[in-house]
A = this chain, B = another copy of it.
Amino acid sequence: MFKKRDNIKEVEEGKYLAPKFDKNGLIPVVTTDLQTGGILMHSYMNNEALKKTIETKEAHYWSRSRKKIWHKGQVSGFVQKVKEIRIDDDQDSIWLSVDIGNGASCHVGYRSCFYRSIPLGKIKNDENLKMKFKEKEKIFDPKKVYKDEPNPTEL
């Protein structure tokens, strides 16, 4: 299914898919929102998750916290319909463009996981940087949707 990565010219300029999985068997994935154009989330896939995503046209990732294939939306109902998959020059990262309708993609409840903006400019000594919330309202209540599911965030 994937071509062997045997020369750089072919990987960069060729037509064949030859993804590079890291030493844990994972490739980073960025998912953007067809409706808003913004980034929804950053995650990882293994070989099987990539294959399932291509074949079913629904996003599947590798959950590093749960150590298993993660069909996005199975618990929350917010399935991601894949409109396009792209890969970068050296084929070591993936871009999914997905349709989530009026749904959400962040387990905290916001539409996008990237709901906070970092201030730009000179940083004062020992200043803790204070961010701005760019999404004001949650789309869903995580307590109601996830109930007793463990929180995937790790310190």
Tell me if A137 counts as interface (CB < 8 A to partner B): no
Tell me if A80 counts as interface (CB < 8 A to partner B): no
Tell me if A122 counts as interface (CB < 8 A to partner B): yes
Return A57 CB to nearest CB of chain B, in Å: 5
Contact A116 B86 (CB under 8 A): yes
Q: Which residues from B are CB-within-8-Å of A95?
A: 39, 42, 114
Interface size class of A (residues with CB under 8 A): 35 or more
Contact B108 A13 (CB under 8 A): yes
Q: Which residues from B are CB-within-8-Å of A143?
A: none
Picked from B1, B57, B88, the residue with its CB within 8 Å of the CB of A41 is: B88
Q: Which residues from B are CB-within-8-Å of A128?
A: 1-3, 16-17
Q: Which residues from B are CB-within-8-Å of A12?
A: 108, 153
A13–B133 CA distance with the chains assembled, in angstroms = 9
Contact A28 B54 (CB under 8 A): no
Tell me if A48 counts as interface (CB < 8 A to partner B): no
Question: 10 A-B pairs, CB-CB below 8 angstroms?
Answer: A1-B127, A15-B116, A15-B130, A30-B42, A42-B88, A54-B129, A84-B117, A85-B118, A86-B118, A87-B131
